[in-house]
Amino acid sequence: MKKAITLAIILIMTFFVNAQLLNNSGILQVKNNPLRLNINAESTGKQKNIITELLKATTHVNLSSENKELYMSLVSRLKTSEAKVNSSSKVFLDSIVTKTTSGTYTKKDVIYYDKNGNDTTILRYDWDIANSEWLLSLREKSVKDNNGLLLSYETYLWIGGFYFMGSIKYENTYNSNNDVLTKTEYTWDVLTSTWKYSSKSENLYDANNYLIRTTVSSRDNVLNVWNQQTKSVFNYDLNNKLISETDFNWDNTALNWVNNIKDDHFYDTQGNDTLKLEYKWDTGASVWNINNKIRFIYDSNTLSTRIENWDWNNAWTETGKLEYTYNSNKQITIYAIYSLDSKTSIWKGILKTESIYDGNNYKTIENKFDWDTPTSAWFKIEISTYYYSSNTTGTPSLTGTNPVIYPNPVSNELQISGLNSNADISILDVTGKTIFTQKNSEKTIDVTALNEGIYFLQITNKTGSVNYKFIKIHSR
C-alpha cells in the first residue's frame, strides 16, 4: 500500500510540474517515470492525452483521500489552464474559491499577472475554520519571456506561518523555433534552504522541428556530475504523425542503452489518434511483448467522448475509462474517470467534474464529485467559483515614482510607500466600480469595512494611472 501511495504522489506531483511543457511537436517529457508518463499530444488535444495517462495510472495506483485531492486539483488545473487569460478581450481569471456543499470555505487560488498578461504568481490559501480566516499555504512562481515562453517555475510551501520552503523548481531553454531544448529540475535542500540540481532533460529536433530524441540525466551533487538515466526516441510518418516511441534505460554496468518500453500510434483518416499499443521489452527472450492499449473514441464532430485503457494478460481487459460530454460551444461540461475493480469486476468512479459557463463562454462554476461505493453513485463534494476581471497585477509604474502597497493580503490597514507625486487614490471592486477615493496625503487606507475578496487600488497622477490588485481577508 505504501508503494502504491508513493507512486501516486510521484505521478501527481510530476504532472503538476510538467503540465505546461508540451512543446510544438506535441510531446511532454516526464522524468523519473515509474508509470512511464511520456505523452503524445496533438495540438488540438493536449489536455485529453495528459489526462489519458492519468487515467491509465489510476488502474494501477490506489489513491488515498488526500492523494485524490491532489489528483483532482491537478486535473482541474489542466482543464482550466486556458481560462487564465483571454488576450483578445483582456479578461483575466483572478481567483478560484472553493467551498464544500454545506457552504464552508476550503481553499482559494489567487492569480497574479505581469504587464503582458502572463500569469506570474499563484497563491493558494486554505480556510482556517477555527479562526474564520484564510491562511497562506502555497506559492507558485513563473517567469516568462516576452513571447510568453516559460523560463522557470517554482513552488513553495508556507511552513508554520513564517517562511516558504521550496518544493519544486525547473528551468527551460528554447531554440529559435520556441521548442524546449533543455529542462533542468531542482530539489530543495532543507539544511541549506537552497535549490540543488535534480535532473536534466535534453531534446533533439529534426530539420522539420519535430522532436526525435529526449535524454534524461540525473544529478550526482556529491561528484557534481550528470549521469545518463533514460532516453526516448520518436519516429514519424510522411505526414509528420508520431507513429512510434521507444524508451531506453541506461545500463551503468554494460555502459549502453537497454530497451524498456515501446508505443505504436494509429490514426483514422481524419488524423485523429485512435489507438496506442504499448510493448514491454523481454530481456531474456529479446522480444517486445504487448502490455497495454489505449483506445480513443470520437463523436461526429471529432470530439473525444471516451478514452479506454486496456491491459493484456493473455486476453484484453478494459481497466479504466474516461468519458466526456460537451455543450453546444464544444466546451467540456462533464468528464468522469472510472476504474474497474479487479476483484468484483464492477466499475467504480475515481473523479467527476461538472463545469458551468456564462454567456461569454467563461467557466464560472466547477462542481467536483466523489464516488459512493455502497450505492455505486456520484455525490457532490466541492463547488469552485471562478472570478474574472479586466485588470491585472503586473509591474505597474508611474513616471517619477515607484509605489509599493503592503501587506497583501490585508485585513485592516493598507500601506502605500514610494509615492512621491500628487495622485488620486481609488479602490475598485472586481466589476470596476469605485468604492473609495482619497488624495495621497494619507499613506494608510483603512480597509477593515471591506468585504472579503479581490480589489484594485488605482493610483492616478498627471502621467497616467496604474492598478494594484490586493486581497481583503477576514479581520480578527
Distance separating alpha carbons of residues 162 and 116, to the nearest angstrom:
31
- Residue finishing a domain among 325, 354, 389: 389
pLDDT-based confidence at residue 275 (cuts at 50, 70, 90): very high
In contact, 351 and 336? CB cutoff 8 Å? yes
pLDDT tens, residue by residue, 344-359: 889 999 999 999 998 8
Residues 92 and 121 in one domain: yes
Residue 462 sits in a domain whose CATH number is: 2.60.40.3080
Q: Which carries the bigger pLDDT value, residue 148 or residue 258?
A: 258
For 440-459, the DSSP string reads TT-SEEE-TTSPSEEEEEEE
User: Does residue 24 lie within any of the structural domains?
Assistant: no
- Helices 46-58 and 65-80: crossing angle in degrees, nearest 10, is 170
Q: Which carries the bigger pLDDT value, residue 391 or residue 278?
A: 278
Mean pLDDT confidence for 278-299: 96
- Residue finishing a domain among 327, 359, 389: 389
pLDDT-based confidence at residue 463 (cuts at 50, 70, 90): low
pLDDT tens, residue by residue, 402-455: 677 777 778 888 888 777 667 888 898 876 788 988 876 567 888 988 988 888
Residue type, 278: E
Distance separating alpha carbons of residues 53 and 21, to the nearest angstrom:
15
User: Does residue 48 lie within any of the structural domains?
Assistant: no
The helix (H) or strand (E) run that includes residue 293 is strand 287-298
Mean pLDDT confidence for 276-291: 96
- Residue finishing a domain among 355, 389, 423: 389
User: Does residue 40 lie within any of the structural domains?
Assistant: no
Distance separating alpha carbons of residues 293 and 312, to the nearest angstrom:
8
Share of the chain above pLDDT 70, in %: 75
Residue 137 contacts by C-beta under 8 Å, 6 or more apart in sequence?
A: 107, 124, 125, 126, 157, 158
For 2-45, the DSSP string reads HHHHHHHHHHHHHHHHHTT---TTSEE--SS-TT---EE--TT-
Distance of CA 296 to the CA centre of its chain: 23
CB atoms within 10 A of CB 418: 10
Distance separating alpha carbons of residues 423 and 463, to the nearest angstrom:
10
Residue 405 contacts by C-beta under 8 Å, 6 or more apart in sequence?
A: 414, 415, 416, 417, 457, 468, 470
Residues 217 and 319 in one domain: yes
Q: Which carries the bigger pLDDT value, residue 44 or residue 248?
A: 248
Backbone angles phi, psi at 238, to 5 degrees: -65, -20
CA dihedral 133, 93, 391, 425 (to 10 degrees): 0
The dihedral region occupied by 160, where left means phi > 0, alpha psi between -120 and 50, and beta the remainder, is left
Residue matched to cell numbers 483518416 = 269
In contact, 157 and 140? CB cutoff 8 Å? no
* The pLDDT value given to residue 80: 46
pLDDT-based confidence at residue 28 (cuts at 50, 70, 90): very low
Residues 373 and 443 in one domain: no
Residue ranges making up the domain that contains 384: 65-389
Write down the number of H helices and E strands in the chain: 3, 30
Range in 75-89, 213-227, 368-382 with the lowest mean pLDDT: 75-89
Distance separating alpha carbons of residues 231 and 213, to the nearest angstrom:
7
Residues 160 and 125 in one domain: yes
Residue 376 contacts by C-beta under 8 Å, 6 or more apart in sequence?
A: 346, 348
Q: Which carries the bigger pLDDT value, residue 290 or residue 38?
A: 290
Q: Which carries the bigger pLDDT value, residue 11 or residue 180?
A: 180
pLDDT averaged over every residue in the chain: 79
Name the grid cell of 309: 485503457
pLDDT-based confidence at residue 475 (cuts at 50, 70, 90): low
* The pLDDT value given to residue 64: 46
Distance separating alpha carbons of residues 356 and 366, to the nearest angstrom:
6
Q: Is 352 helix (H, G, I), strand (E, B) or coil?
A: strand
Longest CA pairwise span in the chain (Å): 82
Which of 14-23, 38-47, 329-338 ranks highest by mean pLDDT? 329-338
* The pLDDT value given to residue 162: 65
Residue 99 sits in a domain whose CATH number is: 2.40.128.720
Distance separating alpha carbons of residues 210 and 445, to the nearest angstrom:
55
Q: Prior bond to 396 cis, omega within 30?
A: no
Does 401 have pLDDT greater than 70? no
Distance separating alpha carbons of residues 436 and 429, to the nearest angstrom:
10
Residue matched to cell numbers 474516461 = 322
Residues 286 and 155 in one domain: yes
Distance separating alpha carbons of residues 391 and 92, to the nearest angstrom:
7
Residues 384 and 427 in one domain: no
Number of domains in the chain: 2
Does 375 have pLDDT greater than 90? yes
For 44, 422, 431, 456, 459, the CA distances from 437, given in Å and listed in that order, are: 47, 14, 16, 12, 10
Range in 104-118, 169-183, 427-441, 462-476 with the lowest mean pLDDT: 462-476
Residues 281 and 426 in one domain: no
Distance separating alpha carbons of residues 69 and 209, to the nearest angstrom:
38
User: Does residue 186 lie within any of the structural domains?
Assistant: yes
Q: Is 70 helix (H, G, I), strand (E, B) or coil?
A: helix
**DSSP conformational letter for 398:** B
Residue type, 372: D
Bridge partners (DSSP) of residue 369 are: 352, 380
Residues 409 and 285 in one domain: no
Mean pLDDT confidence for 169-190: 95
pLDDT-based confidence at residue 197 (cuts at 50, 70, 90): very high
* The pLDDT value given to residue 441: 56
User: Does residue 50 lie within any of the structural domains?
Assistant: no
Q: Is 407 helix (H, G, I), strand (E, B) or coil?
A: coil
Residues 154 and 212 in one domain: yes
User: Does residue 374 lie within any of the structural domains?
Assistant: yes
pLDDT-based confidence at residue 280 (cuts at 50, 70, 90): very high
Whether pTM > 0.75 for this model: the answer is no
Residues 353 and 418 in one domain: no
